[in-house]
């Protein structure tokens, strides 16, 4: 298994050191979020300060940017990193698209399909000199003069990952993407009974199998060396799970487990700012579905049991580590990587 670290400083100048630390700890790659720094900018900083680390945007919000703009960014980072870049795209929810990005809200699935197809057409034009002529309902590209053509690069096979939770986006991922980003935390049941079957259905529709898609782990992974540390990690995870469970977009997931009646409680408590109290309503069953928690040896065993036959990329986030030294993290990474 390959092991990635979540890296999310708030300022661009902090990314080189964070990426170098992840590389020194033995991680195979890092995942960059779209928070306070655009992931393509942070990817440049990380590419210039590391030598072996894979760099995954998880996720880069697609629709506020033209596919042409994203194609230029990704092509440049792929060349700069010597083939270590992985472009992870996400659609983002309606409220953020309208109120934070002030962009049109159009049908997501056909738009994302065209986004990926048109980027690949642009890259093919640059790499192989083919005539650019992509025509779609949402995107059309048919002009590329030498002055704006960056030309071929040594590692042109630029992988595209998709963040997908719901049925149709999982099907599109299976049909079109090189890899899957499970998106915001999902339950084990939802992944097995909703996401995985639809990823496979999409793959079959395109003459592919799940082996053609890199699958990543989902949910939280918490770890500590002591019982007291585990209690702190679990308390924080309960609060974070409650936060996600207060989002109406997750109602179907809650309903699958019979937890739908909790939604109104979580929403009311969130509006009242009762973040700590919300965590008290997250049961042990909910915690087990959303997270893997334990001391290092326990975590490795649980990861093997839950993801051993499903995922090839494990995502760790040291926000959910308590009291682990750098050597502890290095040992944990090595142990996870050794899972067959």
HEC assignment per residue over the chain:
CEEEEEECCCCHHHHHHHHHHHHHCCCCEEEECCCCCCHHHHHHHHHHHCCCCEEEECCEECCCCCHHHHHHHHHHHHHHCCCCEEEEEECCCHHHHHHHCCCCCCCHHHHHHHHHHHHHHHHHHHHHCCCCCEECCCCEECCCCHHHCCCCCCCCCCCEEEECCCHHHHHHHHHHCCEEECCCCCCHHHHHHHHHHHHHHHHHHCCCCHHHCEEECCCEEEEECCHHHHHHHHHHHHHHHHHHHCCHHHHHHHHHHCCCCHHHHHHHHHHCCCHHHHHCCCCHHHHHHHEEEECHHHHHHHHHHHHCCCCCEEEECHHHEECCCHHHHHHHHHHHHCCC
Question: Which residues 6+ apart lie within 8 Å of 233 measured at CB?
Answer: 222, 223, 224, 293, 320, 321, 322
> Is 184 part of a structural domain of the chain?
yes
Query: What was the pLDDT predicted at 299?
Result: 98
What confidence category does residue 95 fall into, taking pLDDT thresholds of 50, 70 and 90?
confident
> Is 188 part of a structural domain of the chain?
yes
In angstroms, the CA 181 to CA 179 distance is 7
Q: Which tens digit of pLDDT belongs to each residue from 182-222?
A: 977 899 999 999 999 999 999 999 999 999 999 999 999 99
pLDDT of 332 above 90: yes
pTM: predicted TM-score of the whole model, two decimal places: 0.94
The DSSP call for residue 133 is -
> Is 82 part of a structural domain of the chain?
no
Q: Which tens digit of pLDDT belongs to each residue from 144-189?
A: 999 999 999 999 999 999 999 999 999 999 999 999 999 778 999 9
140-141 and 134-135 strand pairing: antiparallel
Question: Which residues 6+ apart lie within 8 Å of 229 measured at CB?
Answer: 322, 323
Q: How many domains does the chain have?
A: 1
Query: What was the pLDDT predicted at 247?
Result: 84
- For the chain, what is the mean pLDDT? 95
> Is 255 part of a structural domain of the chain?
no
Query: What was the pLDDT predicted at 96?
Result: 82
> Is 75 part of a structural domain of the chain?
no
Radius of gyration, CA atoms only, the chain: 20
CB atoms within 10 A of CB 178: 18
Q: How many CA atoms lie within 13 A of 102 on its CB side?
A: 0
> Is 208 part of a structural domain of the chain?
yes
pLDDT of 291 above 90: yes
What confidence category does residue 106 fall into, taking pLDDT thresholds of 50, 70 and 90?
confident
Share of the chain above pLDDT 70, in %: 100
> Is 174 part of a structural domain of the chain?
yes
> Could you list the residue range(s) of the whole structural domain that residue 209 is in?
164-216
């Amino acid at each position: 298994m390959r092991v990635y670290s979540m890296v999310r400083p708030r300022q661009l100048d902090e990314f080189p050191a964070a990426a170098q630390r992840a590389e020194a700890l033995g991680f195979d790659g890092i995942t960059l979020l779209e928070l306070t720094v655009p992931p393509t900018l942070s990817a440049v900083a990380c590419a210039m300060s590391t030598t072996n680390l894979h760099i995954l945007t998880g996720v880069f919000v697609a629709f506020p940017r033209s596919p042409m703009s994203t194609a230029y960014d990704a092509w440049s980072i792929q060349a700069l990193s010597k083939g270590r870049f992985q472009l992870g795209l996400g659609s983002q929810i309606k409220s953020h698209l309208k109120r934070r990005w002030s962009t049109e809200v159009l049908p997501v699935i056909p738009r994302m399909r065209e986004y990926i197809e048109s980027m690949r057409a642009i890259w093919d034009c640059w790499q192989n000199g083919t005539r650019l002529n992509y025509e779609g309902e949402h995107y059309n590209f048919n002009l590329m003069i030498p002055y704006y053509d960056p030309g071929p690069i040594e590692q042109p096979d630029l992988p595209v990952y998709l963040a997908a939770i719901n049925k149709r986006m999982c099907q599109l991922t299976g049909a079109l993407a090189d890899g899957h980003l499970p998106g915001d935390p999902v339950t084990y049941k939802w992944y097995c009974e909703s996401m995985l079957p639809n990823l496979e259905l999409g793959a079959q529709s395109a003459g592919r199998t799940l082996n053609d898609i890199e699958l990543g782990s989902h949910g939280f992974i918490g770890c500590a060396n002591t019982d007291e540390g585990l209690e702190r990690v679990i308390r924080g995870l309960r609060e974070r799970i409650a936060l996600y469970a207060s989002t109406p977009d997750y109602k179907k997931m809650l309903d699958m487990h019979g937890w739908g009646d909790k939604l109104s409680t979580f929403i009311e408590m969130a509006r009242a700012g009762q973040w700590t109290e919300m965590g008290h309503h997250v049961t042990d069953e909910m915690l087990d579905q959303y997270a893997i928690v334990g001391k290092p040896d326990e975590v490795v065993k649980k990861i093997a049991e839950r993801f051993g036959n499903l995922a090839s990329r494990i995502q760790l986030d040291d926000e959910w580590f308590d009291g682990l030294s750098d050597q502890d993290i290095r040992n944990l990474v090595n142990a996870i990587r050794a899972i067959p």
